[in-house]
Amino acid sequence: MTGITKAACIGGGVIGGGWIARFLLAGIDVSVFDPHPEASRIVGEVLANAEKAYGMLTGAPLPPRGRLTFEKSLQEAVSGADWIQESVPERLDLKRRVLTEIDAAARPDALIGSSTSGLLPSDLQRDMKHPERLFVAHPYNPVYLLPLVEIVGGEKTSKATIEAAMALLAPIGMKGVHIAKEIEAFVGDRLLEALWREALWLIHDDICTVETLDDVIRYSFGLRWAQMGLFQTYRIAGGEAGMRHFLAQFGPCLAWPWTKLTDVVDLDDALVEKIGKQSDEQAAGLSIRALERIRDENLVGILQALKAGNDGKGWGAGQLLKDFERSLWAAGGGKTAAADPAGPLKLVETKVSPAWVDYNGHMTEHRYLQVFGDTSDALLRLIGVDLAYVEAGQSYYTVETHIRHLGEAKLGQAIHSTCQILAVDDKRLHLFHTIRDAESDAVLATAEQMLLHVDTEAGKATPAPAAVLNKANLIAAAHAKLPPPDGVGRHVGQKR
């Protein structure tokens, strides 16, 4: 299997909805079965948050969104699917029954993943006729932003299934980690359970409130963990002598009576009420959806920071995001279609997403520049300046831009952008872009840009190769017959 063409999601709650969004935004068609009467509303809200997050996360050209369908039966949902993800409630009897039904109805070569956070795959695959294709694919919430998936096979899971599942995650921007042995709660939840158990004791014993405990995490080691995890963080703590020194220095602490990890707190009504009340106070009236949006915006910021870190090479999940974006740019968001040079080239079609608007509900200034930049990139791909060209050491850099804001682009509005080549020489491209309303064709903004061809290794301007110039000149010759666009050559403050 070279890629996922169609996915099926059985269960559309918090985790299932996140899987649906992750697949859809990767351009994969998704069929869903969930008997919950409000499944479509819940999934729609998760998808709206995911689309907003992706609008902030990356400027790389995403593929066209996959097609979402809700089916009336599990059998209809899994029909023809390449990857089937089960995300029903965490009960062994229920999951086992659902997975057995999936197994009976799915295509023979379909992969079947379970989102279980702790049940053993060997127990899940007990009644399946084709247990070799069942594996645990345990994600983290929100699935559409957090890239990790724990891949765990059972006693009857084939090596080929594990290899196929791992290979299919990278193209949708996820990081598969293979857990070598099946164990209850796997790796991530075991770590979280240890921290959670200690945290409950700290609240129970009135050492701190839930807000104080969260502050301890988010203002300290939580920031370190986001980039380096646990062991590499402690390696640094060992100084120049590294991990061995750290273990020698702090290893004896493990025997000290600091922790209650082996003692389970009694979650009686009083403790539940204490935690609930403190949690309500901490939320300060924010709804779950509002908290999700805040979480997503913060995660986007952290991922972007990690992408730019380590001298521009990326680190941790940021490196994964960088690699995912490279694949998106290589695909070009779907190859730039050949355009008719008899008129300005229509190169970008999009909608104003929630992540693009300001407090007035209008598209904010830097998003206009993003659309104009996407338009220039689409033209460059059209004349042969694609990702491979850039990786070979040459590119065009934008050295000057003049933007005019002539109308208002609002939330949800369909817009498109066109490009007219004004002039070409061996080192320069002189371009004029126009953003229009897709329905009325009204002009919303224009940008005049000068692009300079550079040798990125030498850091200086250099003539473009003949193959690129020939393609650019063919378009420029056709555009020379067009009237000069309104606003060309204007400067800031010039009278109309």
Domains and CATH numbers, the chain: 6-186 (3.40.50.720), 190-285 (1.10.1040.10), 335-479 (3.10.129.10)
Strand locations in 456-494, DSSP E? 460-461
Q: For residue 472, what are the CA distances in angstroms to 31, 92, 341?
A: 43, 62, 11
Under a CB-based contact definition with an 8 Å cutoff, are residues 145 and 302 in contact? no
Please give the pLDDT value at position 187.
96
Structural tokens at position 281: 């106070």
Rounded CA-CA distance 356/350 in Å is 12
- Tens of pLDDT along the chain (496 residues)? 678 999 999 999 999 999 999 999 999 999 999 999 999 999 999 999 999 899 888 878 889 999 999 999 999 999 999 999 999 999 999 999 999 999 999 999 999 999 999 999 999 999 999 999 999 999 999 999 999 999 999 999 999 999 999 999 999 999 999 999 999 999 999 999 999 999 999 999 999 999 999 999 999 999 999 888 999 998 988 889 889 988 898 888 888 877 777 788 898 999 999 999 999 999 999 998 889 988 998 898 889 888 876 666 778 898 899 889 888 877 765 445 556 788 999 999 888 877 788 888 899 999 999 999 999 999 999 999 988 899 899 999 999 999 999 999 998 899 999 999 999 999 999 999 999 999 999 999 999 999 999 999 898 999 999 999 999 999 999 999 999 999 999 888 888 7
Please give the pLDDT value at position 412.
84
Contacts of residue 263, Cβ cutoff 8 Å, sequence gap at least 6: 201
SS3 34: coil
Please give the pLDDT value at position 304.
86
Please provide residue 7's backbone torsions phi and psi, each rounded to the nearest 5 degrees: -115, 155
DSSP letters of 162-191?
A: HHHHHHHHGGGT-EEEE-SS--TTTTHHHH
Structural tokens at position 53: 């997050």
Structural tokens at position 15: 């985790």
Measured over the CA atoms of residue 264, residue 269, residue 271 and residue 275, the dihedral's sign is: positive
Work out the end-to-end distance of the chain between its first and last CA atoms, rounded to an integer number of angstroms. 59
List the beta bridge partners of residue 445: 405, 435
Please give the pLDDT value at position 246.
87
- CA angle, 138 then 140 then 145, to 5°: 125
Model confidence, pTM: 0.81
Under a CB-based contact definition with an 8 Å cutoff, are residues 380 and 372 in contact? no
Please provide residue 184's backbone torsions phi and psi, each rounded to the nearest 5 degrees: -55, 135
User: Which DSSP category does 334 fall into?
Assistant: S
Half-sphere CA count of 261, side-chain side, radius 13 A = 12
Chain position carrying tokens 């090479």: 313
Please give the pLDDT value at position 102.
98
Please provide residue 39's backbone torsions phi and psi, each rounded to the nearest 5 degrees: -60, -45
Query: In this structure, how many other beta carbons lie within 10 angstroms of the beta carbon of residue 273?
Result: 10
CA dihedral 382, 386, 389, 390 (to 10 degrees): 130
Under a CB-based contact definition with an 8 Å cutoff, are residues 336 and 347 in contact? yes
Rounded CA-CA distance 402/491 in Å is 7
Under a CB-based contact definition with an 8 Å cutoff, are residues 259 and 265 in contact? no
Rounded CA-CA distance 56/45 in Å is 17
SS3 67: coil
Rounded CA-CA distance 485/434 in Å is 9
Chain position carrying tokens 């909608």: 351
Rounded CA-CA distance 287/45 in Å is 13
Rounded CA-CA distance 372/350 in Å is 12
Rounded CA-CA distance 305/57 in Å is 11
Structural tokens at position 377: 């990139």
Query: In this structure, how many other beta carbons lie within 10 angstroms of the beta carbon of residue 121?
Result: 26
Please give the pLDDT value at position 268.
92
Length of the chain equals: 496
SS3 437: strand
Please give the pLDDT value at position 334.
46
